[in-house]
């Protein structure tokens, strides 16, 4: 078969060039040209068919809008992150570090689905024997679970179109390659092309496709990031591969809410859902330590208590600011606010901040906990025992309310915490049993409260 014509197009400005160059001829940016198939060069059918069967415009009122039917996978925490389950014709990307449990989760989900739906597991990473061995170890029912070990996109598309499963897993998108491009599997061009073709097939046939994408060492390049705009739903695995807990978070969902998380524990028998995870990220020690503050975070619809740790230590040379699981830019801002409004000086100190357990905290309601952990470490004095904290800090030093404050307080009380330092606007109207609340309006007030 004659190879289709390929061109090199710039990721910045879209200019094309017939051959690869280091610098884009259009905008002059460096290293932005990637190989793509020339539009209109493919034989026969157009490459990107429309999503609707008719091509004439119609008014929205005439289009029957149905709530998308959800197919629960049977793995409860996975369904929670998906917003209830899979959608026919929907494409879901599952990203995460190698070894975090993507293949394990999807094998478990497919085995469960295979009882009532037609499924197909396409493996480009592991041989049939390897997958079968894992399924046996996990004691999964595999009688209705077919496996196709293949990495050629055209072969996979043909099999999917012929077999028409309800749900298919592609593990992983980085191992696939298309005949249409000359570049190697895993390159940006291949990953994009393969995902686009699979998405088109999903929309045309109603197959629900789950794509596995490894987060690469280099970060964005050729990783799942380049696919986020193509697919309907993006889920990322979080968690420290050294700890047993795994979080799966929806960062994009065309069919449901984002930032809902599912929580799992990796066990001998695969991933087990943790239905009540609020206390997972708390330390087991009974003594409070300097530099530790317990944050009541809200992840999706569930409160989650997480210990935030800070270490403030004299800097030798350029002071360093390092965060794990928290936003580094935000830390720089909090240090400036702390200096300006509360007179706490850290410019000659290294500041390290960590959210315990590999969990990633993105909500601004973590500000107060981060700030107090820093103050506690700098003063080398632990925060009061059984204290929880939440609240956002603004640039003028004001403390802003966090959403769902009452729910956070109730959950903390349930877990045995007796005091809460919270934004004034979150002060409960009726007292919460067993919980003393200290409401503060400004950052200097919060810091002063710790000194007495
Ligand atoms: P895997 O699903 O292969 O990760 P990914 O597909 O994201 O690369 O998970 C591999 C890890 O999980 C591996 O380190 C072993 C561990 N594991 C368990 O602890 N228990 C199990 O039952 C299974 C199947 C894997
Ligand atoms: Mg895998």
* pLDDT, position 7: 81
DSSP 8-state code for residue 111:
H
Reported for 322-328, long-range contacts at CB under 8 A and 24+ positions apart, including other chains, are: 322/350, 322/351, 322/352, 322/353, 323/352, 323/353, 323/354, 324/353, 324/354, 324/355, 325/354, 325/355, 325/358, 325/359, 325/360, 325/361, 326/353, 326/354, 326/355, 326/360, 326/361, 326/366, 326/370, 327/362
Predicted local distance difference test score (pLDDT) of residue 70: 86
Closest residue to atom 21 of ligand 1, CA basis: 270
Give the model's pLDDT for residue 202.
95
Residue after which a domain boundary falls, among 273, 302, 330: 273
Task: Determine, yes or no, domain membership for 148.
Answer: yes
Q: Could you tell me if 290 and 377 are in contact, meaning their C-beta atoms sit under 8 angstroms apart?
A: yes
Q: How many whole angstroms separate alpha carbon 219 and alpha carbon 212?
A: 16
Report the greatest alpha carbon distance in the chain: 80
Residue 18 and residue 98 share a domain = no
Do 131 and 267 fall into the same domain? yes
368 lines ligand 1 (CB under 6 A): no
Q: Whose CA is nearest to atom 17 of ligand 1?
A: 270
**Do 190 and 250 lie in a common domain?**
yes
Q: What is the pLDDT of residue 40?
A: 47
If you take atom 14 of ligand 1, which residue's CA is the nearest one? 99
With a 6 Å cutoff on the Cβ, whether 280 touches ligand 1 is no
- Total domains in the fold of the chain: 3
Residue in this structure with the two tokens 């999917």, named with its chain if needed:
160
Q: Is 87 in the pocket of ligand 1 (CB under 6 A)?
A: no
Known binding residues: 96-103
For the whole model, what pTM was predicted? 0.79
Is residue 50 included in any domain, yes or no? Answer: no
Q: What domain range includes position 191?
A: 69-273
End-to-end alpha carbon distance in the chain:
80
Cβ(103) – ligand 1 distance below 6 Å? yes
Same domain, 264 and 371: no
Assigned token pair, 176 = 């696939």
| DSSP E strand stretches across 172-229 | 208-214
Q: How would DSSP label each residue in 386-445?
A: TEEE--EE-TTSBEE--TTHHHHHHHHHHTT--EEEEEGGG--SSPPTT-EEEEESBHHH
Query: Does residue 270 line the site of ligand 1, with CB under 6 A?
Result: yes
> Does any domain span residue 62?
no
Res 160: pLDDT: 96
pLDDT of 53: 54
Q: Give the atom of ligand 1 at the shortest distance from the alpha carbon of 266.
A: 19
Closest CA to 377 of 450, 316, 305, 430: 450
The answer to whether the beta carbons of residues 208 and 71 sit under 8 Å apart is: yes
Residue 222 shares a structural domain with residue 86: yes
CA angle in degrees (0–180, nearest 5) for 290-293-297: 165
Among 149, 158, 203, smallest CA distance to 176 is for 149
Residues comprising the binding site for ATP?
A: 96-103
Q: Is residue 64 part of a domain?
A: no
User: Could you count the other beta carbons within 10 Å of the beta carbon of residue 329?
Assistant: 10
| Same-domain check for residues 258 and 359 | no
pLDDT at 154: 95
Whether 209 and 323 map to the same domain: the answer is no
In a domain, 435, yes or no: yes
Q: Are residues 308 and 196 in the same domain?
A: no
28/25 Cα distance (integer angstroms): 6
Q: Do 258 and 300 belong together in one domain?
A: no
C-alpha 7 – ligand 1 centre gap (Å): 39
Residues 269 and 374 in one domain: no
- The pLDDT of residue 2: 46
Q: Which residues contact 228 (CB under 8 A, 6 or more apart)?
A: 93, 234, 251, 252
d(CA 306, CA 296): 6
List the residue whose alpha carbon is closest to atom 2 of ligand 1: 101
Residue 102 Cβ < 6 Å to ligand 1 = yes
User: How confident is the prediction along the chain (452 residues), in pLDDT tens digits per residue?
Assistant: 445 577 887 766 667 788 888 888 877 878 878 887 765 444 444 555 555 555 678 888 887 766 667 899 999 999 999 988 999 999 999 998 888 999 999 999 999 999 999 999 999 999 999 999 999 999 999 999 999 999 999 999 999 999 999 999 999 899 999 998 888 888 888 899 999 999 999 999 999 999 999 886 655 445 677 888 899 999 998 877 777 888 898 989 988 877 788 999 999 899 999 877 887 778 766 677 899 999 999 887 788 999 999 999 999 999 999 999 999 999 999 999 999 999 999 999 999 999 988 788 989 999 999 999 999 999 999 999 899 999 999 999 999 999 999 999 999 999 899 999 999 999 998 888 899 999 999 999 999 988 76
Residue 57 lies in a domain: no
111 in the same domain as 238: yes
Cα of 250 from ligand 1 centre, angstroms: 21
Q: Is 375 found in the same domain as 440?
A: yes
Residue 336 within any structural domain of the chain = yes
Instruction: Please name which of 165, 78, 169, 180 lies closest in space to residue 123, comparing C-alpha atoms.
Output: 169
Domain boundary among 273, 304, 322: 273
Q: Give, using CA atoms, the residue closest to atom 8 of ligand 1.
A: 99
Within a domain: residue 121? yes
What CATH number did the domain enclosing 130 receive?
3.40.50.300
Query: What gap in Å lies between CA 329 and CA 28, rounded to an integer?
Result: 30
Our answer on whether the CB atom of 244 is closer than 6 Å to any ligand 1 atom is no
How far is 221 from 213, CA to CA, in rounded Å? 12
Minimum CA distance residue for ligand 1 atom 15: 99
Q: How far is the CA of 101 from the centre of ligand 1 (A)?
A: 5
CA of 255 to the centre of ligand 1 (A): 28
Other CB atoms within 10 Å distance of the CB of residue 105: 28
- CATH number of the domain at 387, please: 3.30.230.10
């Amino acid at each position: 078969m004659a190879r289709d014509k390929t061109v090199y197009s710039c990721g910045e400005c879209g200019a094309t060039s017939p051959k690869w160059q280091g610098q884009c001829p259009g905008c002059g940016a460096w290293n932005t040209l990637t190989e793509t198939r020339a539009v209109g060069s493919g034989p026969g059918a157009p490459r990107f068919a429309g999503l609707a069967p008719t091509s004439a415009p119609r008014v929205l009122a005439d289009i029957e809008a149905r709530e998308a039917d959800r197919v629960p996978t049977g793995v409860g925490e996975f369904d929670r992150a998906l917003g209830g389950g899979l959608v026919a014709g929907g494409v879901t990307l599952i990203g995460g570090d190698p070894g975090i449990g993507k293949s394990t989760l999807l094998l478990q989900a497919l085995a469960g689905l295979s009882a009532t739906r037609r499924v197909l597991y396409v493996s480009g990473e592991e041989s049939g024997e390897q997958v079968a061995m894992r399924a046996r170890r996990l004691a999964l029912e595999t009688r209705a679970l077919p496996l196709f070990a293949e990495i050629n996109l055209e072969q996979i598309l043909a099999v999917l179109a012929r077999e028409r499963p309800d749900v298919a897993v592609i593990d992983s998108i980085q191992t696939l390659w298309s005949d249409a491009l000359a570049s190697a599997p895993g390159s940006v061009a291949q990953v994009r092309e393969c995902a686009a073709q699979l998405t088109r097939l999903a929309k045309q046939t109603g197959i629900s496709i789950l794509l596995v994408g490894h987060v690469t060492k280099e970060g964005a390049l050729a990783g799942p990031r380049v696919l986020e705009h193509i697919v309907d739903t993006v889920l990322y695995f979080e968690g420290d591969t050294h700890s047993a807990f795994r979080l799966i978070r929806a960062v994009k969902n065309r069919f449901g809410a984002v930032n809902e998380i599912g929580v799992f524990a990796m066990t001998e028998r695969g991933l087990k859902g943790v239905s009540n995870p609020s206390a997972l990220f708390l330390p087991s020690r009974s003594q409070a330590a300097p530099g530790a503050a317990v944050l009541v975070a809200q992840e999706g619809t569930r409160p989650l208590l997480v210990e935030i740790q800070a270490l403030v230590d004299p800097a030798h040379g350029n002071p360093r600011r390092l965060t794990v699981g928290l936003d580094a830019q935000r830390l720089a801002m909090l240090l400036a606010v702390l200096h300006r409004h509360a007179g706490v000086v850290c410019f000659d100190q290294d500041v390290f901040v960590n959210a315990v357990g590999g969990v990633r905290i993105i909500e601004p309601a973590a500000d107060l906990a981060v700030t107090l952990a820093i103050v506690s470490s700098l003063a080398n004095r632990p925060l009061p025992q059984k204290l929880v904290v939440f609240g956002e800090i603004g640039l003028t030093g004001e403390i802003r309310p966090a959403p769902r404050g009452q729910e956070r307080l109730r959950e903390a009380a349930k877990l045995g915490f007796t005091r809460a330092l919270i934004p004034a606007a979150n002060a409960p109207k009726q007292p919460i049993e067993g919980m003393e609340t200290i409401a503060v309006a400004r950052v200097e007030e919060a810091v002063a409260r710790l000194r007495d």
